Amino acid sequence: MSTTTKPAPPTKVNVNNIQGDVLSGLPKKTQTFMFFKITNGKQFVADLVKLVPLIQTVAQSLKDRDDIDQHKKAKKPGLIPMAGANISLTKTGLDAMGFTAAMIANTALTEATFQKGAIADAPSLNDPLLPSTQTPDWEQEFLNGIDGLLLVAGSDHDSVQKKIAQIQKVFPADPNHSSITIVKTITGDVRPGDQSGHEHFGFLDGISNPLIAGFDKTVPGPTPIDASNVLTGYTQANDWTQDGSFLVFRYLLQKVPEFNNFLDANRLQNDPITSASLTEQQGSDLLGARLVGRWKSGAPIDISPFQDDPTLANNLQQRNNFDYANEFRDNNKCPWAAHIRRTNPRTDSTRKGPIDNRRIMRRGIAFGPEVNDAEASSGTTQQDRGLLFACYQANITNAFRFIQTLWANNPTFPFIGADIKPPTPLTPGVDPLIGQVAAGQPRQMSGYDPLTANDPDQKPLSMETFIVPRGGAYLFVPPIKLLREFNRHITSS
């Protein structure tokens, strides 16, 4: 490789050098997140070499998924016991290991938002702040700072605990004999029964991740993106972070009873085609679908706008095969502010240029108990539940942060040019789920009712906040080769 020419984007990814959760996802029914502080940087660097055999690669994740498929095809009972671990580090974690600004110069680790860190960046995301300190209203462990994350995912709690026990041989639970201290542990679980794969509001999750060219099998829908949009080290020459990635973690509490009450109270009244009255459940479901952009089944409303179609949701060839191209001047089928349109606007934005570098690989999992009878009857959340949001990208500023600040939180998006504006400009409002507004600003969206979606005099829907951030971290996911060679890069600088 030339010392002056940046490497070509990967046409075939190195599945043995990339941590498993990044491209393929660690197979999981449960996942434990262990956030840590580094107490002995030099020892930690040495310990990483010992940890490598326990870190699952993409190749191993693909093998596990193939074993699961064969198990299902053979109609064997139960689950195959399995668990995989990955590790990632924050900017302060790299500092604790001994890295300086000069050592990481000309690498992806200089990425601005990663260097800034999640705590300092939270105000720009419109995360609620504590009035007394103007710091994020997060749980204290996250405010104290995180150096790294060990995540372990698997088929069941026993398998995960066995993997954690193996990790504890490298990083003992006794802080006097370990180079790290675990400061926060959170466990997420796939929801039970027919809610498997659905987040706590009830919508099927994780079905629209971008496809990676040369890695994923192509299906109808958005064009596969180059792996360099997810993997670091392909934008400049001699970047030793190659095949790493950046992980954004967000600890998100969901106010489920309040969300359900909101849908009921603001339910749509009439069928958009026949004008017949909708039942309470039909009106509530239709409003929910228009806020999210999909029915709870996962069927996109851009294809099936006014009635759920579970068979469409299960059709891998069709459920992502839409692009809003025929409705960029209106939002009758899918509101401009709907969650999936706001976080992946497809042709709403590609008319202005490619958005491949905005795409993220989402790997979240639900946490917390199901809504109980007391919560449902009172309409008030009494127990913490929500989403352990995790996503991977090659550049946090270009991807997650851009999506949150300029798409989800922006009440005027996608009106970014004369070719997109309708005859009478409207204000679509913020993303109904994750859109956050500055203190004192209205939280609204337009186009929620298909009967008035293109009426310039339509009344905007005022919304409560249904998702509350309670913590976060920006982390670098090192490639396997680098985990073995961190010490060389520190001592040679």
CA 365 to chain centre: 9
DSSP string, 37-56: EES-HHHHHHHHHHHGGGBP
Which two structure tokens, joined as six digits, stand for 455?
């009426």
Q: Are the C-beta atoms of 255 and 467 separated by less than 8 Å?
A: yes
Secondary structure of 341-363 as H, E, C letters: HHHCCCHHHHCCCCCHHHCCEEC
Would you report the helix, strand and coil content of the chain in percent, each value rounded to 5? 30, 15, 50
Q: Which of 151, 139, 145 is nearest to 95 (CA)?
A: 145
The question of whether 205 is a catalytic residue gets the answer yes
Set 205, 308, 309, 323: catalytic member: 205
Q: Are the C-beta atoms of 125 and 475 separated by less than 8 Å?
A: no
b/e sequence 367-400, b meaning 16+ C-beta within 10 Å = bbeebeeebeeebebeeebbbbbbbbbbbbbbbb
Q: What angle do CA 122, 125, 127 make, to 5 degrees?
A: 60
DSSP 61: H
Q: Which of 299, 13, 36, 327 is nearest to 181 (CA)?
A: 36
Q: Are the C-beta atoms of 144 and 151 separated by less than 8 Å?
A: no
Q: Are the C-beta atoms of 56 and 133 separated by less than 8 Å?
A: no
Q: Which of 285, 21, 328 is nearest to 150 (CA)?
A: 21
* Helical ranges in 351-452 per DSSP H: 373-378, 400-402
Which two structure tokens, joined as six digits, stand for 18?
């990339």
Three-state secondary structure call for residue 177:
helix
Catalytic residue list: 205
